Amino acid sequence: MAIHVVKEAQRCLQCKRPMCVEGCPVSTPIPDMIKLFLEGKSDEAGNTLFTNNPLSVVCALVCNHEAQCEGHCVQARRGMAIHWSSIEQYISDRYLDRAELHSAEKNHVKVAIIGSGPAGLTISVILAQRGYDITLFETRDKIGGVLRYGIPDFRLPKTILERYQKKLESLGVKIRPNTTIGGAITVDDLIRDDYKAVFIGTGVWRPHALGIKGETLGNVHYALNYLVDPDVYKLGEKVAIIGAGNAAMDVARTVIRHGARDVTVFERSQTVKAGEREVDYARADGVQFRTAVGVSEIREEGPVIHQLAYDDEGKLVSESEGELFEADSTIIAIGQGPKDKIVNTTEGIATSENGLVVTDGAGQTTHEGVFASGDVTSGAKTVVEAVKYSREVAEAMDAYLRQFVEA
């Protein structure tokens, strides 16, 4: 590994008040894990990490560490934070194959999990370990959701998901690939077939549009669609990317790896929205950035851009005349929202104005026995945030399902 994880672990100060833990959305007990690791108790550390966060091995790779655990490390004030992500990846990756997951005695209460992204995977593990009969429905041919189809392999090797699937199967989780709920099968069908609870974790797979002329042209694409299967796109050597969030960084770096020689990211605001580390990697790969730039139209030859001027309070005060930025292809990466197949085929599931599923504080929707968490309820967030709220929803589902266990 690039980081010598043992020497890095030895730098930990074992703070009495570990700010790294406070900075982690799932409160990973980082100093305790480092102590166990240095004592040669890696399996114990791995088990604790997995219990706290079933996607620890994933989060170690894709979390925005500089804004969370590592960003809160007191060592950062002295020069360099403890590189916990490398230590966590070492422990979690080693443990994933060695872990022997066990479930409580089967209670024969059936639960349907719709979507195998971070939320669905987290809840599947927790409830399967508690003895529930879990069926995981995935609309694509392989599990992972955004982990597989939205994050490039160079950031998250898909072999991790294959290993993870084996753990699910060892817990007795049944997986139905290529099955869309809201098509031939509805939520009402699941309830008819005696599923006592249904969890919706379908994520956000509808790209946001700019709403400008030219979005339907043949050389214009949406980031989310591109990342699902980059190999099928022929983008040319010069590519313009509209938007500068983390998804845009993934797209830009993927585009370069697929042969583009000139990639420019355009952002309407004055600052790039993606995490610092992701931006640094993109720059290292050769991606160019232009901020305070608006786009009014997309042509076959490329986007029409306008330089924007802001005052000291960040208010737009003027913009230049449009000029053509020549590009072989343009990719739009300004976010995404939820699809509506499930809510349109199920009565009683309320949604917000922007189509997100409405839930109470425990993930219960307005439909009896139907729960939801993850991006489909909050909009696009991070993997670790999906894990955090899904753990809470799993507890609420368990409490709800107990009435059927005891019956």
Strands 238-242 and 302-310: unpaired
**Residue 240: pLDDT above 70?**
yes
What is the tens place of the pLDDT at every residue in 37-61?
999 999 999 999 999 999 999 999 9
Q: What is the structure's pLDDT at 3?
A: 66
- Do domains 110-205+339-405 and 207-336 share one topology? The answer is yes
Residue given tokens 């290292």 in the structure block? 284
Residue 21 φ/ψ, nearest 5 degrees: -65, -40
What is the tens place of the pLDDT at every residue in 139-197?
999 999 999 999 999 999 999 999 999 999 999 999 999 999 998 999 999 999 999 99
Return d(Cα 266, Cα 219) in angstroms, integer: 17
Return d(Cα 278, Cα 251) in angstroms, integer: 11
Count the Cβ atoms, other than its own, within 10 Å of residue 282: 25
**Residue 1: pLDDT above 60?**
no
Contact indicator for 198, 371 with CB cutoff of 8 Å: yes
Question: How many helices (H) and strands (E) are present in the chain, helices listed first?
Answer: 17, 16
Strands 336-337 and 206-207: antiparallel
Contact indicator for 363, 389 with CB cutoff of 8 Å: yes
Supply the pTM of this predicted model: 0.93
End-to-end Cα, the chain, rounded Å: 52
Q: Residue-wise over 96-119: b if at least 16 C-beta within 10 A, else e?
A: beebeeebeeebebbbbbbbbbbb
Q: What is the structure's pLDDT at 406?
A: 72
Residue spans of beta strands (DSSP E) within 351-407: 370-372
**Residue 108: pLDDT above 60?**
yes
Q: Give the contacts of 81 (CB within 8 A, at least 6 positions apart).
A: 66, 70, 71, 73, 75
Token pair recorded at residue 68: 């969370």
What is the tens place of the pLDDT at every residue in 270-293?
999 998 899 999 999 999 999 999
Q: What is the structure's pLDDT at 339?
A: 85
Domain-wise residue ranges, the chain? 5-98, 110-205+339-405, 207-336
Kind plus residue range of the DSSP H or E element containing 86: helix 84-98
Token pair recorded at residue 109: 């209460």
Q: How many residues does the chain have?
A: 407
Strands 316-319 and 174-176: unpaired
Give me the architecture of the 5-98 domain, per CATH: Orthogonal Bundle (1.10)
Cross-strand bridge partners of residue 295: 305
Cα R_g (the chain), whole angstroms:
23
Return d(Cα 398, Cα 131) in angstroms, integer: 10
CATH topology of domain 207-336: FAD/NAD(P)-binding domain (3.50.50)
| Highest mean pLDDT out of 111-115, 200-204, 375-379 | 111-115
Question: What CATH number belongs to 110-205+339-405?
Answer: 3.50.50.60
pLDDT category at 407 given cuts 50, 70, 90 is low
3-class SS of residue 102: coil
Contact indicator for 362, 396 with CB cutoff of 8 Å: yes
Count the Cβ atoms, other than its own, within 10 Å of residue 43: 14
CA 11 to chain centre: 30
What is the DSSP secondary-structure string of 6-40? HHHHHT----SS-HHHHHSTT---HHHHHHHHHTT
Q: Give the contacts of 3 (CB within 8 A, at least 6 positions apart).
A: 83, 86, 87
Contact indicator for 245, 274 with CB cutoff of 8 Å: yes
